[in-house]
Amino acid sequence: MRIKWFSLIRITGLICVLLYHFFQMRYTGGFIGVDIFFTFSGYLITALALDEFSRSNKFRLGDFYYRRIMRILPPLLLMIAFVLPFTLLVSKDYITDLPKQLAAAVGFSTNIFEINTGGTYESRFIPHLFVHTWSLAIEVQFYLVWGFILYLLTKITPNVKKFRIRVFFASAVLAAVSATVMYLRAQSLSEFSPIYFSSIAHIFPFFIGSMLGSIAGIQDLLPAFSNSVAKHWNKAGAVTFMVLNLACLFALAYVLRFDQRKTYMFGFLLASLFAACAILGANILHRKTPNTKEPFIFTYIADISYSVYLFHWPLFVIFSKIYPTWLAALITTILSVLFASVSFYFLEPLIRGKAVSIGKHKITFKHIVAPLGLGLTLAIGLGVYLCLQAPSISSLEKNLLLGGIQQDADQLSTTYVQAAPKPPKKENAQNSAQDDGATIIGDSVTLGSRKYLLDHMKNVDIDAEGNRTMDKAYNVLMNAQNSGRLKRNVVICIGTNSLDDYQQQTEKVIKDLKPGHHLIFITPHDGHADSSYNSYKLAVWERTLPKKYKFITIGDWDKVARAHQNLFAGTDGTHFGGRDDISKLYLDCIKDALTRAEKTPVKK
């Protein structure tokens, strides 16, 4: 039995995800599309289990696992086979760690792989081609756990009524535990990807769907629900209720941000509740429109939504590095729909042993054995070749790693020199070269260009580190200041990884810097940022500081970079380590700020 209007739930989830990946700067919360899918899956699986138990008083766990794996695995393998040839269009950076990526994807453990390797969902480096399969990993992990729990409940439950009650309360408890874990973990983290990828913290949408499934199933319904639908709902009310909740989901997709704590404390929970209410509305509308046929376009998009989700991400990652964003999104959408249609309507049924009719011809699996075998052989061969060619880290990560190693070596050498005995200073000695130079404290952007800066600047110390925020920069500043290593000009190149309290952190730097120094802030540049990003807000706020503090100078790297955005082609839009053309612009920006700083007073 197919419930009409459920297609709109799937379509909403797909649109949210596509808008987020294609136009991340505008639809900053579209990642909740995955939570819509999670909630719907939890609902559907539980409702079907209740129907099966109602019919036969049994729940066949082996059959359940077989159906799930046959629905998920074939499209996944087909996606990998279709996508791999396109990787030849871009640099090897895009197949970084490919063997492990593939193993994690087909082993349904991408979420664990990303957590263990420090991956981020909003990668600022080269994004993994198959990072989006983290959601499949959590889904399969849910099926394994929940399917077994349902099986155990059927063994101790004599009738459908008690089974429904126990399923509801088991779902409620597990949803509450998972949502609480996410809420508590969000309190103390600055990097949210480990929570986002976590099975324990992010599995609650499934169980919210399961709670609904135990009440408003597909065929077997709670009597109270059937009576309520018959007495208190009409078609207009059902439409209004469903559309209102879908509108709330789109609103969340527009306002939520991945790097905001409130998203994890409340955002995902709200998205799951709105999705559950939309599912409920669609269920009621189905029962109130028995003679209405659902438009084909709805069912078509819903049918291919899972495969479109699989195809779109790796294709967009590849094409977005070749074409402008709008064109890459268009090409990705066309190819994803084409490949997904072939997969869902042709290859998947044949693989499951069903016949497919094309015109007057009926095709069975035996008709495609030879071409499918040849295609898979070529795909496996290409996959092996690409795995052998795949670097373990991208060129950008390699540049940052080497920069970090060189920085450690330089700091060790400096410590050795400072520890050596020194002749006593003359009492009337004026400011030394040490005092007149510059101390630069930066993040991964500075770290990537550290060698270039050192080669083209004199009397400068650079301390840079990836993912450094202003509070960590403050600690570096205080250590240098307390040990007497801080030079006269202090350059702060921080902000790409800005947290919500960026103003307080920056004010602390300004307040605790000792007198006798110039303070130079280099505004952060993130090629993906718009006015809603903290890095963008920080740059705007930093530009106001010289009016308040005469010893502060601004080097407007964000303005310079945006004026030369074409030079960032082939990068992630933010980092440019190893690119001398952009490194020179960065150097000139810092030098210009230092020159202007010398015309201002030091901190009194």
Q: What is the pLDDT of residue 119?
A: 65
What pLDDT does 192 receive?
Answer: 85
> For the chain, how big is the Rg over CA atoms in Å?
29
Domain range summary for the chain, segments of one domain joined by +: 15-389, 395-417+432-597
Q: Which alpha helices (H) appear in 117-266, and where do they start and end?
A: 134-155, 160-185, 193-196, 204-215, 223-232, 235-255, 261-262
Range name among 147-151, 413-417, 491-495 with the lowest pLDDT average: 413-417
β 489-493/460-464 pair status: unpaired
Confidence of residue 218 (pLDDT cuts 50, 70, 90): confident
Contact between 136 and 72 under an 8 Å Cβ cutoff? The reply is yes
- Which is more confidently placed, 14 or 361? 14
Taking only the tens place, the pLDDT of each residue in 509-564 is: 999 999 999 999 999 998 777 777 788 899 999 999 999 999 999 999 999 999 99
- pLDDT the model gives residue 401: 72
Instruction: Point out the least confidently predicted range of 169-173, 320-324, 374-378.
Output: 320-324
Tokens coding 163: 């089974």
Mean pLDDT calculated for residue range 309-325: 91
pLDDT of 433 higher than 50 = no
Q: What percent of the chain has a predicted confidence (pLDDT) above 70? A: 92
- The closest alpha carbon to 127, from 51, 220, 24, 222, belongs to 24
Coil/strand/helix, residue 21: helix
pLDDT in tens, 324-353: 888 999 999 999 999 999 999 999 999 888
- Give the per-residue pLDDT at 427: 45
Band (123; pLDDT cuts 50, 70, 90): low
Residue 70's Cβ-side half-sphere holds a number of Cα atoms within 13 Å equal to: 14
Q: How far apart, in whole angstroms, are the C-alpha atoms of residue 181 and residue 201?
A: 5
Banded pLDDT at 501 (limits 50, 70, 90): confident
Q: What are the pLDDT digits (tens) for 56-76?
A: 888 999 999 999 999 999 999
Specify the pLDDT at position 130. Answer: 94
pLDDT bucket at 432, cuts 50 / 70 / 90: very low
Reading the block at residue 322, the tokens are 């070749």
Residue 413 has pLDDT above 70, yes or no: no
Instruction: Answer with the residue of higher pLDDT: 553 or 96.
Output: 553
Please name the amino acid found at residue 212. L
Is residue 437 helix, strand or coil?
coil
Specify the higher pLDDT residue, 428 or 320: 320
DSSP 291: T
Predicted confidence band of residue 578 (pLDDT cuts 50, 70, 90): confident
Give the position of tokens 């597990």. 174
| Residue type at position 346 | F
CA proximity to 400, closest of 462, 464, 461:
464
Q: Is residue 34 scored above 50 in pLDDT? A: yes
517 close to 551: Cβ distance less than 8 angstroms: yes
**Rounded-to-integer distance, Cα 447 and Cα 486, Å:** 19
Mean pLDDT of 309-324: 91
Structure tokens at 165: 């009650």
pLDDT of residue 416 exceeding 80, the answer is: no
Could you tell me the pLDDT band of residue 159, with boundaries at 50, 70 and 90? confident
- For the chain, give the mean pLDDT: 88
Cβ 600 vs Cβ 553: under 8 Å: yes
Provide mean pLDDT across the span 441-454. Answer: 90
Tokens of 293: 């046929």
β-bridge partners, 441: 463, 492
pTM of the model: 0.80
Question: CB-based contacts of 213: which residues, under 8 Å, 6+ apart?
Answer: 42, 43, 44, 45, 46, 47, 50, 167
Closest to 278 (Cα-Cα) out of 243, 323, 235, 237: 243
What's the token pair of residue 339?
């490949």
Question: In the CATH hierarchy, which top-level class contains the domain 395-417+432-597?
Answer: alpha beta
Q: Is the pLDDT of residue 494 over 90?
A: yes
* pLDDT over 80 at 570, yes or no: no
The DSSP letter of residue 320 is: T
